[in-house]
Homo-oligomer: A and B are copies of this chain.
Amino acid sequence: MKVAFQGEPGAFSEEASLAYFENPVTMPCESFEAVFEAATSRTCDVGIIPIENSLAGSIHQNYDLLLRHQLHIVGEHFLRVKLCLIGFPGTAKTEIRHVFSHPQPLGQSAGYLRKMRGVTTEAVYDTAGSVKILKSTGERSAAAIASRRAAEIYGMEILEENIEDNPENYTRFLVIAPEPVIPTGEAKTSIVFILKNQPGALFKALSVFALRDIDLTKIESRPLAGKPWEYLFYIDFAGAMQEDRAKRALDHLAEYALMLRVLGSYPRANFG
Protein backbone atom coordinates (compact mmCIF):
# COMPACT_ATOMS: atom_id res chain seq x y z
CA MET A 1 0.00 0.00 0.00
CA LYS A 2 1.51 3.30 -1.12
CA VAL A 3 0.28 6.18 1.05
CA ALA A 4 0.83 9.87 0.19
CA PHE A 5 1.07 12.36 3.07
CA GLN A 6 1.98 16.02 3.44
CA GLY A 7 5.26 16.91 5.10
CA GLU A 8 8.73 15.55 5.68
CA PRO A 9 9.41 11.98 6.85
CA GLY A 10 8.48 11.84 10.53
CA ALA A 11 5.39 14.01 10.06
CA PHE A 12 2.35 13.19 12.21
CA SER A 13 0.52 12.35 8.96
CA GLU A 14 3.13 9.68 8.29
CA GLU A 15 2.73 8.39 11.86
CA ALA A 16 -1.03 8.14 11.21
CA SER A 17 -0.46 6.09 8.04
CA LEU A 18 1.92 3.73 9.87
CA ALA A 19 -0.74 3.23 12.54
CA TYR A 20 -3.61 2.78 10.08
CA PHE A 21 -1.98 0.49 7.49
CA GLU A 22 0.24 -2.55 7.91
CA ASN A 23 3.68 -1.88 6.44
CA PRO A 24 2.71 0.92 4.07
CA VAL A 25 5.14 2.57 1.69
CA THR A 26 4.85 6.22 2.65
CA MET A 27 5.23 8.98 0.08
CA PRO A 28 6.05 12.51 1.35
CA CYS A 29 4.36 15.39 -0.53
CA GLU A 30 5.09 19.12 -0.41
CA SER A 31 1.50 20.25 0.08
CA PHE A 32 -1.97 18.93 0.86
CA GLU A 33 -2.85 19.68 -2.74
CA ALA A 34 -0.04 17.37 -3.88
CA VAL A 35 -1.51 14.56 -1.74
CA PHE A 36 -4.90 14.99 -3.43
CA GLU A 37 -3.23 15.04 -6.84
CA ALA A 38 -1.18 11.92 -6.12
CA ALA A 39 -4.37 10.07 -5.15
CA THR A 40 -6.28 11.40 -8.18
CA SER A 41 -3.53 10.43 -10.64
CA ARG A 42 -3.07 7.08 -8.84
CA THR A 43 0.62 7.80 -8.23
CA CYS A 44 -0.23 6.37 -4.81
CA ASP A 45 -2.98 3.98 -3.64
CA VAL A 46 -4.41 6.36 -1.06
CA GLY A 47 -3.67 9.71 0.54
CA ILE A 48 -3.93 10.52 4.23
CA ILE A 49 -4.83 14.04 5.37
CA PRO A 50 -5.47 15.68 8.75
CA ILE A 51 -8.99 17.09 8.86
CA GLU A 52 -9.35 18.26 12.44
CA ASN A 53 -7.36 18.72 15.63
CA SER A 54 -9.17 18.54 18.96
CA LEU A 55 -7.54 21.79 20.15
CA ALA A 56 -6.95 23.84 17.00
CA GLY A 57 -10.08 22.86 15.06
CA SER A 58 -10.63 21.97 11.44
CA ILE A 59 -7.97 22.07 8.74
CA HIS A 60 -10.20 24.11 6.43
CA GLN A 61 -7.92 23.86 3.43
CA ASN A 62 -8.53 20.12 3.33
CA TYR A 63 -12.30 20.63 3.38
CA ASP A 64 -11.89 22.87 0.34
CA LEU A 65 -9.65 20.30 -1.38
CA LEU A 66 -12.17 17.49 -0.75
CA LEU A 67 -14.70 19.54 -2.71
CA ARG A 68 -12.35 20.33 -5.59
CA HIS A 69 -11.27 16.72 -6.16
CA GLN A 70 -13.36 13.69 -7.09
CA LEU A 71 -11.93 11.39 -4.43
CA HIS A 72 -13.69 9.24 -1.84
CA ILE A 73 -13.16 9.11 1.89
CA VAL A 74 -12.45 5.43 2.64
CA GLY A 75 -11.26 5.56 6.25
CA GLU A 76 -10.55 7.66 9.33
CA HIS A 77 -7.94 7.46 12.08
CA PHE A 78 -7.51 9.29 15.38
CA LEU A 79 -3.93 10.01 16.44
CA ARG A 80 -2.88 11.18 19.87
CA VAL A 81 -0.44 14.01 19.11
CA LYS A 82 2.57 13.69 21.43
CA LEU A 83 5.02 16.56 21.08
CA CYS A 84 8.73 16.11 21.82
CA LEU A 85 11.39 18.73 22.46
CA ILE A 86 14.21 17.59 20.19
CA GLY A 87 17.86 18.65 20.28
CA PHE A 88 21.35 17.50 19.33
CA PRO A 89 22.53 14.30 21.03
CA GLY A 90 24.19 15.10 24.33
CA THR A 91 22.60 18.52 24.84
CA ALA A 92 20.64 19.32 28.01
CA LYS A 93 17.28 21.08 28.09
CA THR A 94 18.88 23.90 30.11
CA GLU A 95 21.22 24.74 27.20
CA ILE A 96 18.31 25.49 24.83
CA ARG A 97 17.84 29.17 23.93
CA HIS A 98 15.85 28.95 20.68
CA VAL A 99 13.01 26.64 19.63
CA PHE A 100 11.45 26.27 16.23
CA SER A 101 8.54 24.34 14.83
CA HIS A 102 5.26 24.78 12.95
CA PRO A 103 3.00 27.43 14.53
CA GLN A 104 0.53 24.73 15.70
CA PRO A 105 2.95 22.71 17.91
CA LEU A 106 4.49 25.99 19.13
CA GLY A 107 1.03 27.15 20.20
CA GLN A 108 0.19 23.79 21.77
CA SER A 109 3.29 23.91 23.96
CA ALA A 110 3.27 27.66 24.64
CA GLY A 111 2.86 27.12 28.42
CA TYR A 112 5.77 24.67 28.50
CA LEU A 113 7.97 27.06 26.48
CA ARG A 114 7.16 29.99 28.79
CA LYS A 115 8.47 27.95 31.72
CA MET A 116 11.76 27.50 29.85
CA ARG A 117 12.40 31.24 30.47
CA GLY A 118 14.29 33.38 27.97
CA VAL A 119 13.75 30.92 25.14
CA THR A 120 12.86 32.51 21.78
CA THR A 121 10.58 30.73 19.32
CA GLU A 122 10.48 30.75 15.54
CA ALA A 123 7.72 29.50 13.26
CA VAL A 124 8.70 27.33 10.31
CA TYR A 125 6.51 25.68 7.69
CA ASP A 126 6.76 22.02 8.66
CA THR A 127 6.73 20.15 11.98
CA ALA A 128 9.01 17.21 11.09
CA GLY A 129 10.86 19.60 8.79
CA SER A 130 11.84 21.69 11.82
CA VAL A 131 14.06 18.78 12.98
CA LYS A 132 15.66 18.62 9.54
CA ILE A 133 16.31 22.40 9.69
CA LEU A 134 17.67 22.11 13.24
CA LYS A 135 20.14 19.46 12.12
CA SER A 136 21.29 21.54 9.14
CA THR A 137 21.96 24.61 11.34
CA GLY A 138 24.31 22.67 13.65
CA GLU A 139 23.16 25.06 16.40
CA ARG A 140 23.42 23.13 19.67
CA SER A 141 21.52 25.76 21.67
CA ALA A 142 18.47 25.32 19.43
CA ALA A 143 15.71 22.72 19.58
CA ALA A 144 12.74 21.65 17.46
CA ILE A 145 9.28 20.39 18.42
CA ALA A 146 8.07 17.36 16.51
CA SER A 147 7.20 13.66 16.83
CA ARG A 148 9.36 10.93 18.41
CA ARG A 149 9.74 9.42 14.96
CA ALA A 150 11.09 12.68 13.49
CA ALA A 151 13.84 12.68 16.16
CA GLU A 152 14.73 9.07 15.30
CA ILE A 153 14.79 9.63 11.53
CA TYR A 154 17.20 12.56 11.78
CA GLY A 155 19.35 10.95 14.52
CA MET A 156 18.53 13.64 17.05
CA GLU A 157 17.74 13.32 20.75
CA ILE A 158 14.46 13.71 22.60
CA LEU A 159 15.13 16.17 25.41
CA GLU A 160 11.59 15.83 26.77
CA GLU A 161 8.46 14.01 25.66
CA ASN A 162 4.76 14.98 25.96
CA ILE A 163 5.45 18.68 26.27
CA GLU A 164 1.97 19.65 24.99
CA ASP A 165 0.04 21.84 27.45
CA ASN A 166 -3.21 19.93 27.01
CA PRO A 167 -3.02 16.12 26.82
CA GLU A 168 -6.41 15.98 25.04
CA ASN A 169 -4.54 16.60 21.82
CA TYR A 170 -5.84 14.38 19.01
CA THR A 171 -5.88 14.75 15.26
CA ARG A 172 -8.45 13.05 13.09
CA PHE A 173 -7.10 11.89 9.73
CA LEU A 174 -9.05 10.89 6.63
CA VAL A 175 -7.91 8.31 4.11
CA ILE A 176 -8.80 9.37 0.55
CA ALA A 177 -8.82 7.17 -2.54
CA PRO A 178 -9.97 7.16 -6.17
CA GLU A 179 -12.56 4.41 -5.51
CA PRO A 180 -15.19 4.28 -2.75
CA VAL A 181 -15.56 1.46 -0.20
CA ILE A 182 -18.70 -0.13 1.22
CA PRO A 183 -18.11 -0.35 4.96
CA THR A 184 -19.35 -3.28 7.02
CA GLY A 185 -19.87 -2.82 10.75
CA GLU A 186 -19.99 0.60 12.37
CA ALA A 187 -19.66 3.30 9.76
CA LYS A 188 -19.57 7.03 9.24
CA THR A 189 -20.59 9.06 6.18
CA SER A 190 -19.32 12.49 5.12
CA ILE A 191 -21.37 14.74 2.86
CA VAL A 192 -21.19 18.29 1.53
CA PHE A 193 -24.17 20.38 0.43
CA ILE A 194 -25.35 23.87 -0.49
CA LEU A 195 -28.72 25.21 0.66
CA LYS A 196 -30.95 27.98 -0.65
CA ASN A 197 -30.10 31.17 1.23
CA GLN A 198 -33.39 31.43 3.13
CA PRO A 199 -34.52 31.48 6.78
CA GLY A 200 -34.69 28.04 8.37
CA ALA A 201 -32.71 26.35 5.58
CA LEU A 202 -30.13 24.72 7.86
CA PHE A 203 -32.81 23.73 10.36
CA LYS A 204 -34.69 21.89 7.60
CA ALA A 205 -31.47 20.23 6.44
CA LEU A 206 -30.67 18.97 9.95
CA SER A 207 -34.26 17.75 10.36
CA VAL A 208 -33.68 14.98 7.80
CA PHE A 209 -31.19 13.46 10.25
CA ALA A 210 -32.91 14.36 13.53
CA LEU A 211 -36.29 12.94 12.43
CA ARG A 212 -34.54 9.61 11.75
CA ASP A 213 -32.41 9.64 14.92
CA ILE A 214 -29.23 9.79 12.87
CA ASP A 215 -26.38 11.10 14.97
CA LEU A 216 -24.33 13.96 13.50
CA THR A 217 -20.72 13.86 14.63
CA LYS A 218 -19.51 17.06 12.92
CA ILE A 219 -20.77 20.09 11.06
CA GLU A 220 -18.49 22.55 9.32
CA SER A 221 -19.26 25.51 7.08
CA ARG A 222 -17.03 26.97 4.39
CA PRO A 223 -17.54 30.03 2.21
CA LEU A 224 -19.02 29.57 -1.23
CA ALA A 225 -16.53 31.38 -3.50
CA GLY A 226 -18.15 34.14 -5.55
CA LYS A 227 -21.25 34.26 -3.30
CA PRO A 228 -20.27 36.25 -0.22
CA TRP A 229 -21.91 35.05 3.03
CA GLU A 230 -23.35 31.92 1.46
CA TYR A 231 -21.94 28.62 2.63
CA LEU A 232 -21.10 25.04 1.86
CA PHE A 233 -21.95 22.72 4.75
CA TYR A 234 -19.97 19.60 5.52
CA ILE A 235 -21.62 17.02 7.77
CA ASP A 236 -20.41 13.69 9.16
CA PHE A 237 -23.08 11.31 10.42
CA ALA A 238 -23.14 7.84 11.95
CA GLY A 239 -24.05 5.10 9.48
CA ALA A 240 -23.28 4.09 5.90
CA MET A 241 -25.12 5.47 2.91
CA GLN A 242 -26.03 1.91 1.94
CA GLU A 243 -28.33 1.74 4.99
CA ASP A 244 -32.01 2.45 4.28
CA ARG A 245 -32.26 5.09 6.97
CA ALA A 246 -29.28 7.03 5.62
CA LYS A 247 -30.45 6.62 2.04
CA ARG A 248 -33.86 8.08 2.92
CA ALA A 249 -32.27 10.97 4.84
CA LEU A 250 -30.08 11.83 1.84
CA ASP A 251 -33.05 11.62 -0.56
CA HIS A 252 -34.93 13.92 1.78
CA LEU A 253 -31.99 16.36 1.97
CA ALA A 254 -31.71 16.36 -1.84
CA GLU A 255 -35.22 17.88 -1.94
CA TYR A 256 -33.90 21.07 -0.25
CA ALA A 257 -30.28 21.13 -1.32
CA LEU A 258 -29.04 23.03 -4.36
CA MET A 259 -26.08 20.63 -4.40
CA LEU A 260 -25.42 17.45 -2.44
CA ARG A 261 -22.40 15.19 -2.71
CA VAL A 262 -21.48 12.13 -0.68
CA LEU A 263 -17.75 12.30 0.06
CA GLY A 264 -17.71 8.72 1.33
CA SER A 265 -18.93 6.09 3.77
CA TYR A 266 -16.17 4.37 5.71
CA PRO A 267 -15.52 2.25 8.80
CA ARG A 268 -15.90 4.34 11.94
CA ALA A 269 -12.65 4.47 13.93
CA ASN A 270 -12.38 4.16 17.66
CA PHE A 271 -11.32 7.40 19.14
CA GLY A 272 -8.40 7.48 21.57
Contacts and interface: CB of A to CB of B under 8 A. Distances in A.
Contacts of A202: 206, 216, 219
A56 B55 CA distance: 21
B222 A199 contact: no
Residue among A60, A202, A203 facing the most chain B CB atoms (10 A cut-off): A203
A80 to B, nearest CB: 10
Nearest to A219: B221
A228 B55 CA distance: 7
Interface in A219-238: 219-223, 225-229
A236 B168 CA distance: 29
A113 to B, nearest CB: 16
B214 A203 contact: no
A149 B225 CA distance: 26
A213 interface: yes
Interface residues of A, number: 37
B54 A229 contact: yes
B200 A210 contact: yes
Contacts of A20: none
Given A168-B228, A170-B228, A229-B271, 9 more contacts: A57-B223, A166-B225, A200-B209, A202-B219, A203-B206, A203-B210, A217-B229, A220-B221, A228-B271
A179 interface: no
A88 to B, nearest CB: 28
A215 interface: yes
A165 to B, nearest CB: 10
Contacts of A109: none
Interface of A: 52-57, 60, 166, 168, 170, 172, 199-200, 202-204, 206-207, 209-210, 213-223, 225-229, 271
Contacts of A220: 221
25 contacts: A53-B223, A54-B228, A54-B229, A55-B225, A56-B223, A57-B60, A57-B222, A57-B223, A166-B225, A168-B225, A168-B227, A172-B229, A199-B213, A199-B214, A199-B216, A200-B209, A202-B216, A202-B219, A203-B203, A203-B207, A203-B210, A204-B210, A218-B221, A228-B271, A229-B271
**Residue picked from A200, A215, A222, A226, most chain B C-beta under 10 Å:** A200
Contacts of A214: 199
Nearest to A232: B57
Taking each of A202, A214, A222, which has the highest tally of chain B beta carbons within 10 Å of its own beta carbon? A202
A227 B135 CA distance: 36
Contacts of A218: 221, 229
